[in-house]
Amino acid sequence: MKVTRATFDDVMVPNYNPANMVPVRGEGSRVWDQEGAEYVDFAGGIAVNVLGHCHPELVKALNEQGSKLWHLSNVFTNEPSLRLAKKLADSTFADKVYFANSGAEANEAALKLARRWALDKYGEDKNQIIAFNKGFHGRTFFTVTVGGQAAYSDGFGPKPGAVTHCDYNDLAAFEAMISDKTCAVMMEPLQGEGGIITPDVEFVKGVRELCDKHNALLILDEVQSGVGRTGHLYAYMGLGVTPDILTTAKSLGGGFPIGAMLTTAGIAAHLKPGTHGSTYGGNPLACAVAEKALDIVNQPEVLEGVLKKEALFRKILGEINDKYHVFEEIRGQGMLLGCALNEKYQGRAKDFMTAATQEHLMCLIAGMNVIRFAPSLVIPDEDIVEGLARFERAIAAVVSAE
- CA atoms in the 13 A half-sphere facing the CB of 198: 16
Q: Residue 160: left (phi > 0), alpha (psi -120 to 50), or beta?
A: beta
Binding residues for N(2)-acetyl-L-ornithine: 139, 278
Whether residue 136 lies in the annotated active site? yes
Cα 174 from Cα 167, distance rounded (Å): 8
- Beta strand ranges found along 317-382 (DSSP E): 327-333, 336-341, 361-362, 364-365, 370-373
Cα 45 from Cα 53, distance rounded (Å): 10
Question: Which of 42, 99, 132, 136 is labelled catalytic?
Answer: 136
Binding residues for pyridoxal 5'-phosphate: 103-104, 136, 221-224, 279
Question: Which of 41, 42, 221, 256 is labelled catalytic?
Answer: 221
* Identity at 385, one-letter amino acid code: V
C-alpha closest to that of 307 among 288, 332, 279: 332
Q: Quick check: 267 and 245 in contact, CB under 8 A?
A: yes
Instruction: Provide CB contacts within 8 A for 341, sequence distance 6+.
Output: 326, 327, 328, 348, 349, 352, 369, 370, 371
What is the DSSP code (8-state) at residue 41?
A: E
Cα 307 from Cα 345, distance rounded (Å): 28
- Secondary structure class of 70 (helix, strand, coil): coil
Please list the active-site residues. Answer: 136, 221, 250
